[in-house]
Structure 1
Amino acid sequence: MSGWRGKMTEVSLDKLELGIIEDEERLLKHIQDQLADVIAQPNSSTDYDNELLTLRDQLSEARLEDQAMLVEHMTRLSALRAAQNREYEAPVDPRSPYFAHIRLSDQHKGQERIREVVIGRRSFIDTQRNVQIVDWRNSPISRIYYCYDEGDDYEETFAKQLQRGHVELRRTLTVNGGKISRIRSGDRVLVRDVHGRWLKQSDERSRLAGGAQTALRAPDRRLGRTGADQRLPEITALIDPAQFRLITQDDSGIIIIRGGAGTGKTTIALHRIAYLCFQNRKRFQPKRILVITPGEGLRKYVSKVLPALDIKGVRIRTFSEWASSTAKWLVPQLRKRKTTDDTPLGARRLKRHPALLKLLKSAVTEKAREFDSEFLRVGGSALLDAWVKRRTLPPMQRLHAVKKWASGPGRHQVDSNSYDFKRLFEGASKELGDPFETWAQTLTDRTKIIECFDALKVDYYQWEVDQLVSSVSQQSDDPNDARELGDHGRGIDGQSIFAGEIQGRLDTDDWAIILHLCQLKNGRLAGSNGRFVSMEHVIVDEAQDLSPLSIKVLCETAKPGAPVTLAGDTAQRLYLDAGFGHWETLIEQIGVRASILPPLAVSYRSTRQVMELARLVLGDLADDMVVRDARDGAPVELIQFDEQGETVAFLADSLKSLRTRERRSSVALVARNMSVARLYHDSLRRAEVPDLRLVQKQDFDFTPGIDVTDVYQIKGLEYDYIVVLEPTARHYPDTIESRHLLHVVLTRAAHQLWLLCSEEPSPLLPLETLSQNLAQSD
């Protein structure tokens, strides 16, 4: 497949078309002949091999003081020999030396000049041989190919000199095995068939079209009856009666809204907020409602949607932001600590494992038991008995209850005003109420970690435990240690020498663990300073990417019996170390009662064609849910190229055309990682594609245009058009992680989906199905 599709015709080619073929084949032969001559050029340069052998013999007989000089000379000759050999290696692949040809006319020294320039993946310029192959990625002259059409006048600055000229021709070619198999020149597409015959192909280029404002966009004004946002209430109206009855109960406790991509989970969760606020504005005040989103992009989106539903002032946070700020508010000693994302993978996996819930609870219980002897020493058996009888209470509540007993019913048995009594309670309160110290001690106790994991039959590696202990040991360091270095703590570039390290810094899972310890110690989300957090309604979107411990923290942030809404789809997991793959498993792990709603049955976002491919990619990893796709759309297209530069050229032309026709459209170019995203962004920017934005830190602005990003940034969002960049075997191998990630990317498309490859396509893509789609669209 290629960037063009159309029907082949066997009509005779006209004289101009035959001339195009002859012109291009003559140019290719000339370049291949010159390359062959360069490769076969006899080596008449210095015979470095003999010189090196002579020096080796001299070295064995040389005096000690002369050996260093001889070795240095041999090293220099070896480098010259290597450079000489490289000089005669093939500068470009003769079998596929270039993919584009432009002919430029300009004025040079008062005379008209014609230049033949071809564009490939590597440069080779030899004016004596009349060969000029330029690298599409960084050659200034390649801008003419990407930014101008045949017949255009150009004006560009090369080597600080302004040059003007005319593009006489602009052709795109496919050269495979040393032969041209396709030529596109203007509106003509000429293709060589398997028998070597040249045929004309109708110019039906794959085109992005008809999808402007299909995707749900964050509103910039109040919701009304018109505009893309009218679908918000429509989705809510289409849920079944059983779901509606559960969603609209203000005391329904924890409910889990599940459904495939685009089924309206987020929409329903947000409308649940609006419904509860409308039913009881006094109880469900916006400041008593917490919304957790997976990333900054979705947080911005929700912050625009809720005001459009007449709900203003709700706390909308990413989990990382909320967890760190809340922990610092409850535990002031942590205020100076920063957040890190550099925790090693093994340590990260264990921090997110549900077994940590048991480990932490045991640690808190054992710490309280250590004070048994002190209570006996200070108050005898009466005080110990009062302490032991209340062992089912959280430690800080237990201390408070014993203290209240000692000053009341037990005042005749215990002297609560004694020095030892006051000192005991001050020390116990300080030690039992400190979540940070418990976190540091528990996660650096290798023996206790292994005992807990073995008892729960956790699959782990010894190196993961070692990594966890080592990481937490560094993280628990005092952050002031680095600060005391002053200017000595900075490198020659002015940056901190600790940048990118974990010393004295906590990651998102650490903040969650500390919050859970606050809950275990206080019986609610509270700190020893008397501050506490208690919400009337908690909403967690894309909950499947949080750890069970983090979800438990959020569930227990709500008041007892207050509504908690978890929305998510386990098929859309970005991180496989979350600790659960099914909602039933999650409920069992965190020990809560929850209502798992029947899955949402209608997919509203993506078309049937997109969803069918997404389900095929997911395979047997998909949940056993029957989902109906609400609408048909354009066929999904896998478009393959031989060169990345050719991919960029095709994509640049397509995006420029789209932006001219559909100024209100939203487009996302999505790569597996940010390095590929940057390459395409920089290349398209050089091609002067308008309204282009590189999104690296979830800095979406939800305005029409073209966002270039990676799969980890785009979770929870949707676009009119999605172009998957390089869904190749290298980027998406046949792994569970790749299936989930590719599924997420595909299901961001509301109208049309393209997959562009310059290498072998991913084995996850059903090529036969995609080929059939292409054939049906012809």
Structure 2
Amino acid sequence: MPAQEAEDIEAEITAERDYLRRSRAALGRMRENVLTLDASSAGDWVSAEVLAGELAKRAEALLDDPSTALFFGRLDHPDERLYIGRRHVHDNGGEPLVIDWRAPMSRPFYKASTADPMGLVLRRRFGYSGGELTAFEDEDFTTQAESRILIEEIERPRVGPMRDIVATIQPEQDDIVRAGAEHTLCVQGAPGTGKTAVGLHRVAYLLYAHRERMRRGGVLVIGPSSSFLDYIRGVLPALGEINVRQETLGGLLDAVPVKGRDTPATARIKGDARMAEVLHRAIWGHLREPDEALVLPRGTRRWRVPAFEIAELAGELRTRGVRYGAGRDLLSHRIAHAILIRMESAGEACDDRTHEAVRRTRPVKAMVDQAWPALAPVRVVMRLLSDADFLAEAAEGLLDADEQAALLWERPARGPKSARWSRADAVLVDEAADIISRTPSLGHVVLDEAQDLSAMECRAVGRRCETGSATVLGDIAQGTTPWAIGDWATLLRHLGKPDAERTVLDRGYRVPRQIIDFASRLLPAIAPGLAPPTSVRSAPGSLEIRRIEGADADAAVVAACREALADEGSVGLITADATVPALAGLLTAEGLDHVTLTDGFAGARLVLTPATQAKGLEFDQVIVVEPADIADAEPAATADGGAVTPGLRRLYVVLTRAVSHLTVLHTRDLPVPLS
């Protein structure tokens, strides 16, 4: 490089670093201004408390992280220059120094191309090391070239939880991120296509573009496991959004303590959509025509309402489609109204107070209890799973005798607390609760790894976004539960979003081509309808398959771990769940610093990961121990006339967790599709 060109580049980097320092200083002043605001002037103590909470959240959102790039791009228009970053920053005069990546004027950073520059003269990307600006790269749109900084950012070694991809969002990802709040999107995403990151960035975008609507309704992110949520926990705070609830489905449906575990066959039946009708019958079957008329003494008069009339009132309410609990409350009003009509016909003066007094009388309450008894969802489900006659009545024509027998608990519980509730039972309780009382709907729900959900689990999630929208993320090829639905159209129907827009992300950025091509050999067996994904990255030498002798297995694992740790980044040692304790002992004995995934990601670069917990995670380097053991741990079963291969699907998940290098260690033959 000529000396003059090198000097010009260095001068340009110095200027950009000065701008970065100026922007960080301005962000610090913005935070200081928020901290100096006095909430006590709000007027009353309630308003003061609310305002103080909002100011604290605002101050936290403005907290600068010096290890993270404040801005990562620059857009040069003919008449203005804009810096694009993670949040908006302005100077003391209100002039913008950094434009939020979610703002409409930032979109050319993600969408401009040689075919459509979108009015740009130049797009600049910045390279960072630890938070220090170290390089830049300019695109003038006269030629189409691969961005070196973009690829380096994708490949940058990672340790610990997932980070945001705000600097590397691709055009097809950007279209999903910026979809309107009214749209429910279903994203079929192959490994490494960034579907999880896209879903989280869509949340950040919706909270920016529709903040009041989202805050009123609430936003929920549902992940497949606590390990997964631990992995993604820092993405939204890094984007300035700290007010989003993140839960597993089990954590969301916590009406009963889950202590038991169903067999796959039983779990499939409990997860079947027919159970919704079984529960509907079980609950509404409690309505009864009274044994005798209602007689209400009031003063010197006795007012009578025949049993058949009360039954007619209850029947009319049921045909209106009200919730069971709401109908029970309305029935007391209807009965009171029927009595007031009789009182007025007799010449008595009645008003709202009379109506309420009649409704609250003991005879009316007793009649409502008889005709429309109060129900607790937990006890309804407990009776359904304990009482064969009650189950048979509710399931007649829906479940056969064998299916009913599979549902019944071996040892009926004495009470809700003594029952060994399973995860599928908790979903049934949630369904029953919704039949009795409507579940509140949120503004937006992100459902990740949706392909693993049963029909009943989909219904549970759908209730929580009934009047809002959703982002449904998953990969049919990674469905590993025996009760998985298996196709998006059916899943979306059970979710209550049959008209959701479906899109496919099949261009991978994370997993190198050599690794994804190897893993894709499993697709004809696990998802014959899916085309193999592609990858923008080729990394010769990124895949290594080692056949080892059984006696040398431990030494081979230790050697592979030491080799991986010699390079930068995170290392995932993934094995069948049953062998995790033995490998943990081996690593400890060999003095290899590590953590087991169930303990979180902090503390070591080497993470010992059970195969069943690997979904959604990524590591710079992955060492897979004995693929055949992983495949055999979840043998194929048959459901609804089709073959279910959770073991091979689990292996597909495991083989696609690596960003830079995959090492496969095996003493047994590889599963046939990989051989």
Instruction: Using structure 1 for the length normalisation, give the TM-score.
Output: 0.57
Query: For 2:237 and 2:276, how far apart are their aligned partners in 1?
Result: 37
Specify which of 452, 469, 472 is matched with residue 545 of structure 1: 452
Task: Tell me the CA shift for residue 547 of structure 1.
Answer: 2.0
**How far apart are residue 692 of structure 1 and its match?**
2.0
1:577-598 deviation line (CA, Å, top 9, x unaligned): 23x1111122344554341412
Deviation track 1:163-192 (CA, whole Å, cap 9, x = no partner) reads: xxxxxxxxxxxxxxxxxxxxxxxxxxxxxx
| 2:375 is equivalent to residue 433 of structure 1 | yes
CA contact under 8 A between 2:224 and 2:249: conserved in structure 1? yes
CA distance in 2 between counterparts of 1:309 and 1:710 reads: 30
Larger Rg: 1
The residue that corresponds to 2:365 in the other structure is 422
Equivalence map 1:534-573=2 (5 Å): 534-558=441-465, 560-573=466-479
* Cα separation, 1, equivalents of 2:627 and 2:474: 25
Distance 1:364 1:569 in 2: 36
- Find the counterpart in structure 2 of residue 757 from structure 1: 666
Matched, 1:250 2:181: yes
Q: Which structure has the higher relative contact order (CA within 8 Å, separation 6+)? A: 1
Q: Of residues 227, 242, 263 in structure 2, which corresponds to 1:297?
A: 227
Residues in 2 aligned to 1:666 and 1:621: alpha-carbon distance in whole angstroms: 29
| 2:290 equivalent in structure 1 | 373
Question: Paired residue for 2:652, among 731, 743, 754?
Answer: 743
Is the counterpart of residue 403 in structure 1 residue 350 in structure 2? no
Residue 574 (structure 2) aligns with = 670
Q: Which residue does the alignment assign to 1:682?
A: 585
Q: Does 1:239 align with 2:173?
A: yes
1:722 alignment partner, SS class: strand
Per the alignment, residue 317 of structure 1 pairs with 247
Question: Which residue matches 1:710?
Answer: 610
Decide which of 486, 493, 505 is 1:600's aligned counterpart: 505
Match of 2:670, SS state, is: coil
Which segment drifts farther, 341-350 or 289-298?
A: 341-350
| Alignment check: 8 A CA contact 2:378 2:416 kept | no
2:656 partner letter: T
Segments of 5+ residues of structure 1 without an aligned counterpart are 1-209, 220-227, 328-333, 480-502, 526-532, 767-778
2:33 paired residue number = none
Deviation, structure 1 residue 613? 1.8
* 2:328 aligned with 1:387: no
CA contact (8 A) 2:522 2:652 kept: yes
Partners of 2:386 and 2:413 within 8 A in 1: no
Alignment of 1:658 with 2:567, yes or no, is no
1:648–1:684 Cα contact (<8 Å) kept: no
Structure 1 residues 731 and 557: alpha-carbon distance in aligned structure 2, compared to 1, 3 A threshold: closer
Q: What secondary structure is seen at the aligned counterpart in 1 of 2:253?
A: helix
Q: Could you say which residue in structure 1 is the equivalent of 2:274? A: 355
Deviations 1:388-418 (A, max 9, x none): 1111212112122233334447621496455
Alpha-carbon distance in 2 for matches of 1:476, 1:632: 61
In structure 2, the residue matched to 1:155 is: none
Instruction: Compute the displacement of 1:261 (Å).
Output: 1.6
* Cα deviation code 1:610-643 (max 9, x no counterpart): 1112221132432434633121123522211122
Structure 2 letter corresponding to 1:470: W
Q: Is the contact made by 1:669 and 1:723 (CA closer than 8 Å) also made in structure 2?
A: yes
Partner of 1:342: 261
Match of 1:624 in 2: 530
Please list the CA deviations of residues 251-300 of structure 1 after superposition, one character each: whole Å capped at 9, or x if unmatched. Answer: 22x43222112222211111111111111222222992221111111111
3-state SS in 1 of match to 2:583: helix
5+ unaligned residues in a row in structure 2: which ranges? Answer: 1-151, 296-304, 344-357, 637-644
Aligned partners of 2:444 and 2:468 also within 8 Å: yes
Q: 1:729 to 1:393 in 2, by over 3 A?
A: closer
Identity of aligned residues (%): 22
Match of 1:88 in 2: none
Say yes or no: does 1:466 pair with 2:466: no
Task: Quote the offset at 1:743 in angstroms.
Answer: 0.5
Deviations 1:331-358 (A, max 9, x none): xxx6xxx321433444333222222122
Shift of 1:455: 3.6
Q: How does 1:219-298 map to 2 (within 5 A)?
A: 229=163, 231-235=165-169, 237-239=171-173, 241=175, 243=176, 248-252=179-183, 254-285=184-215, 288-298=218-228
Letter in 2 for 1:394: R
Give per-residue Cα distances to partners, 1:199-255, cap 9 Å, x unaligned. xxxxxxxxxxx9996466666xxxxxxxx94634523543375x46xx521122x43
3-state SS, counterpart of residue 258 of structure 1? strand
* Structure 1 Cα separation of the partners of residues 623 and 213 of structure 2: 45
Counterparts in 2 of 1:390 and 1:631: CA distance versus 1, 3 Å: same
Match of 1:125 in 2: none
Q: Contact 1:257/1:567 (CA < 8 Å) preserved in 2?
A: yes
- Which residue number corresponds to residue 124 of structure 1? none
Q: Determine the C-alpha separation between the residues in 1 that align with 2:371 and 2:158.
A: 54
Aligned residues: 487
d(CA) in 2 for partners of 1:376, 1:619: 67
Answer yes or no: is the 8 Å Cα contact 1:347–1:465 preserved in 2.
no
Aligned to 1:13: none
Alpha-carbon distance in 1 for matches of 2:669, 2:396: 44
Aligned AA (2:612):
Y
| Change over 3 Å in CA distance of 1:372–1:453 after alignment to 2 | closer
Residue 585 of structure 1 pairs with residue 490 of structure 2 = yes
1:475 shift after superposition: 4.4
TM-score normalized with structure 2 length: 0.66
Alignment partner, residue 691 of structure 1 = 593
Residue 364 to residue 211, structure 1, CA distance change in 2 (3 Å): same
